[in-house]
Structure 1
Amino acid sequence: MARPRMGIGTYGTINTTELQPGKWRARTRYRFSDGKARQVEKYAPSKAKAISALKHALMTVEADRGGELKPTTSLRLLAQMFLDAKRDVGRSEGTLETYGYAVSAHITPRLGDLTVAEAKPERLQPFLNRVEKESGAGAAKNCRSTLSGMMALAVVNGAIEKNPVRELDRISRARGKKRGSAAIPIGELATFLRKARADADLQKWDTVELIEFMLSSGWRVAEACALDIASVDFAVGTAAVEAINVRVKGRGVVRQQFPKTEKSARVTPLPARTMDLLRRRHDRLKEFTTLVFPTPLMRLRDPSNTQREIRDRRVLLGYPGLSTHSFRKTVATILDKEGLSATEIADYLGHENPSMTQDVYMNTLKGSTRAAEVMGQRLEGLI
């Protein structure tokens, strides 16, 4: 009776031979996606290590023969191909790190040995459920997005016919959970700023004027931390969002030379008093740096550290739910109450879609006027 043919992407019995003291060979036959079985072998100082090296090589043997993505490609290899593809098209370091964390912390350890063809909804759904239970909805959403991108790459390369992630349940926010940070009530801004200026730690970290800038500009914390004096036009009274600060694994904080989204790249008209603030900071710091909001040691400011500094002080400031995002919501609230449209406020905040501004940052919208003038009037005497 004829021996059954090996399946595509499988291998036969592993044979080992001690060629000489301290040199072992492990060998087997592997059936490639073209249907042909070929011999694969690895060498190592011991029998166990030779077998282990061979098994590891078999996981990527087809990629080693040309890099073509196939149904037998492991998700471990697919994940790396996905990250490489995103890097090649110039995705931001922050985005790459977000995808990379999903791969290294969750996908590879739990799904890495599955092949593309084996990545079925019935295997992926329990994985996402477990991630959500153990690490939260945010981590599960990140994994779902990364898996979707990986499997889309497999579809484009003909390894599978359709993306299995599309059949998975959406990950929703837990009921009753508050959505985002709350704005500072406009009537309490004077009290808030007085407390912030009197806080010894915020003064030591040189965070007070950064808070004042975000309260008048509506900039994201990463945008404000990256502001360079070359992006400020004192004659016109504007500052341009041209970069953001991000922390990159193995490199520390870097100034990424493009903002979060295409819409984020904007020129913001600023109140006269805010321009005075920027001028004072430049005059004080120009001997050491062109950055407007560096750390006290004149280095790039880490947005995450800045968020932590504010979290550490928010209870004492009287706002337990305060975050850097509260400042953007405060700006949106001010502009909304003064009659700016959703489109005008979205432009000022750098949102891709006015509906995002309307849904998340405000309640009713009406009318139109100039954002910088409104912010200047509302913050008169405060900044």
Structure 2
Amino acid sequence: MPRPRQEIGTYGKISTVELSGGGRWRARTRYRFADGKSRLVERTRPTAAKAEAALKRALLDVEAARGDMLKPTTTLKALGALFLDHKRDMGRSDGTLETYGYAVGAHIVPRLGDLTIAEATPSRLSTFLNATSRDSGPGAAKNCRSALSGMMALAVSNGAADRNPVHDVERLSRPRGKKGSSAIAPEDLPALMRAIRATPSLVEQDTVELFEFMLASAWRVGEACALDVSSVDFEASTATVEATNVRVKGRGIVRQGVPKTDSSARTTPLPRATTDLLARRHERLKAETNLLFPTVLMRLRDPSNTQRELREVREGLGYPKLSTHTFRKTAATMLDRAGMSATEIAAYLGHANPSLTQDVYMNTLAGDTRAGSVMAEALSGVIQSG
């Protein structure tokens, strides 16, 4: 049976031999170049170990012409910059560019920037991602994995790597015993909302009605902060997600006219009490802005500041784990209790994958399409009227 051909860009067994006269060792192997031809590559050093190490280093850049913009010897720092430029040229949203930019600049470059593409092995990347998860949290590690996968895909498409090593890295699992925000039991909602309305700092920051809207709509905090009156159909009692607020380095808070994902662009049926709340806000604010939830200075509201404002008071509210995400989970729980399906609830929440909705937001699901009426009934008396 014929011996299998060596793959392009790989080398065979390294042999070492002491040269005549003593004092020098030669390490040699056969490398298969992009033209399909195998050629001997060798290095000599005072010892066998040093000769082999020198040969392995040489093999990283032995084919200088390999690749287009990129080569196996291109550093991950340079690859990261090209990757971000590539995403920018593709017209990715400000929020996406900010997320990738932070992952590359704050995590990947400081820890991996001096590695070359050829040195970015699954083992090294796995060690990095596990350390990032431990030091900065699973969310940061997830963003770094996504950025690294895109970077190495760019390297593969330019011929600087034969395979994306991120594909061979085991996916990170959520730490045991560490859960995200929990839903509020529907029967506890009236008391919670009364406590929120009675919190001076939230009243001063004009955040109370924002939380009421988020509870009724199950919108993400960035989506709610970006809501414009043009996105509300008062007659039909619906609101459409058409933008999200994000922080962009060097620009501050930006109303990004593209939702988080394609599935995030959705029209949400609202309880009539919630639509009336939006109408009252528009009447009060229309002389200065078309935004429905601006800051008290009539500027774009920062989702991160809004989350912080809630964190600062949640102990006093009696819910030490309360977050803006709690309102989404609570809405999902109410729809679940009404017997709606995972697909229907996913559409209401703006999830692309119903399995995410089922795994993270509720337990057993089954039902029909009636989200608007379900939410109106569940929140009867919870959202303030007039």
Q: Would you say how many aligned residue pairs link Structure 1 and Structure 2? A: 327
Measured in 1, the distance between the counterparts of 2:336 and 2:112 equals 47
What runs of 5+ residues in structure 1 fail to find an aligned partner?
Answer: 9-29, 36-61
**Is 2:209 aligned against 1:209?**
yes
Does residue 361 of structure 2 align to residue 330 of structure 1?
no
Q: Give the Å deviation of 1:325.
A: 0.8
Q: In structure 2, how many angstroms separate the alpha carbons of the residues matched to 1:192 and 1:115?
A: 54
Look up the SS of the partner of 2:239 in the other structure.
Answer: strand
Q: Which residue type is aligned with residue 65 of structure 2?
A: D
Going from structure 1 to structure 2, the CA distance change for 1:204 and 1:103 (only over 3 Å counts) comes to same
Aligned to 1:123: 124
TM-score by length of 1: 0.81
> Within 2, Cα distance between the matches of 1:188 and 1:150?
47
* Residue 33 (1) aligns with residue 64 (2): yes
Q: CA deviation at 1:68?
A: 1.4
Looking at structure 2, the residues matched to 144 and 264 of structure 1 have their Cα atoms a distance apart, in angstroms, of 23
8 Å contact 2:182–2:321 — kept in the other structure? yes
Residue matched to 1:14: none
- Asked whether the equivalents of residues 348 and 371 of structure 2 are also in contact (C-alpha less than 8 Å), the reply is yes
Equivalent position amino acid for 2:293 in 1: F
Do the aligned partners of residues 31 and 167 (structure 1) sit closer, same or farther apart at CA in structure 2, a change above 3 Å counting? closer
Q: Residues 342 and 357 of structure 1 are in contact (CA less than 8 Å); yes or no, is this contact kept in structure 2? A: yes
> Which residue in the other structure is 1:282 paired with?
282
**Who is 2:349 aligned against?**
349
- Cα distance in 2 for residues equivalent to 1:136 and 1:221: 21
On the 8 A contact 1:182/1:326 being kept in 2, the answer is yes
The residue aligned with 1:136 is 137
TM-score of the superposed pair, with normalisation by structure 2: 0.80
Compute the displacement of 1:282 (Å): 0.2
| Counterparts of 2:382 and 2:107, CA distance in 1 | 47
2: CA distance between counterparts of 1:78 and 1:186? 50
Partners of 1:347 and 1:134 lie apart in 2 by: 34
SS at match of 1:246: strand
Question: How far apart, in 1, do the equivalents of 2:373 and 2:133 lie?
Answer: 45
2:72 maps to what in 1? 71
Deviations 1:176-227 (A, max 9, x none): 212x211111001110111111111110010100011011111111110000
CA contact (8 A) 2:65 2:71 kept: no
Distance 1:31 1:346 in 2: 52
CA distance in 2, matches of 1:354, 1:310: 29
Q: Following TM superposition, by how much is the alpha carbon of 1:265 offset from its aligned partner in structure 2, in angstroms?
A: 0.4
What is residue 149 of structure 1 aligned with on the other side?
Answer: 150
Question: Could you say which residue in structure 2 is the equivalent of 1:176?
Answer: 177
* Partner Cα distance (1:142, 1:195) in 2: 36
- Give the equivalent residue in structure 1 for 2:96: 95
Name 2:189's counterpart in structure 1.
Answer: 189
Unmatched 5+ residue regions in structure 2? 1-25, 34-60
* Cα distance in 1 for residues equivalent to 2:89 and 2:269: 35
Match of 2:261 in 1: 261
Inter-CA distance 344–140: structure 2 relative to 1 (3 Å threshold): closer
Asked whether 1:223 is paired with 2:223, we answer yes
Are the equivalent residues in 1 in contact too, given 2:153–2:164 (CA < 8 A)? Answer: yes
Q: Given that residues 339 and 369 in structure 1 are in contact (C-alpha distance below 8 angstroms), is that contact kept between their aligned partners in structure 2? A: no
* Residue type at the aligned position of 2:201: D
Q: CA deviation at 1:228?
A: 0.2
Residue 85 of structure 1 aligns to which amino acid in structure 2?
Answer: H
Q: Distance in 1 between matches of 2:123 and 2:359?
A: 34
Q: CA deviation at 1:263?
A: 1.0
Question: Following the alignment from structure 1 to structure 2, what is the Cα–Cα distance between the partners of residues 120 and 261?
Answer: 31
Bigger drift between 247-256 and 134-143 goes to 134-143
Q: Report which stretch shifted further, 338-347 or 180-189.
A: 338-347
C-alpha RMSD of matched pairs (Å): 2.2
Question: Which residue of the partner structure matches residue 109 of structure 1?
Answer: 110
1:273 Cα offset (Å): 0.7
- Matching of residues 236-275 of structure 1 within 5 Å: 236-275=236-275
Counterpart for residue 318 of structure 1: 318
Moved over 4 A (4+): none
Q: Supply the AA of the counterpart residue of 1:171.
A: L
Contact 2:156/2:163, CA 8 A, preserved across alignment: yes
Q: d(CA) in 2 for partners of 1:377 and 1:34?
A: 68
After superposing the two structures, state which structure 1 stretch, 129-138 or 283-292, moved more. Answer: 129-138
Partner Cα separation in structure 2 for residue 357 and residue 217 of structure 1: 16
Q: How far 1:369 moved relative to its partner?
A: 4.4
CA distance 1:271–1:129, shift in 2 (3 Å): closer
Secondary structure of residue in 2 paired with 1:247: strand
Task: Map 1:360-375; keep pairs closer than 5 Å.
Answer: 360-375=360-375
Counterpart residue type for residue 138 of structure 1:
G
Instruction: Report the secondary structure of 1:161's partner residue.
Output: coil
- Cα distance per residue 1:121-162 (max 9 Å; x no partner): 343333334333433333233222211111111111111111
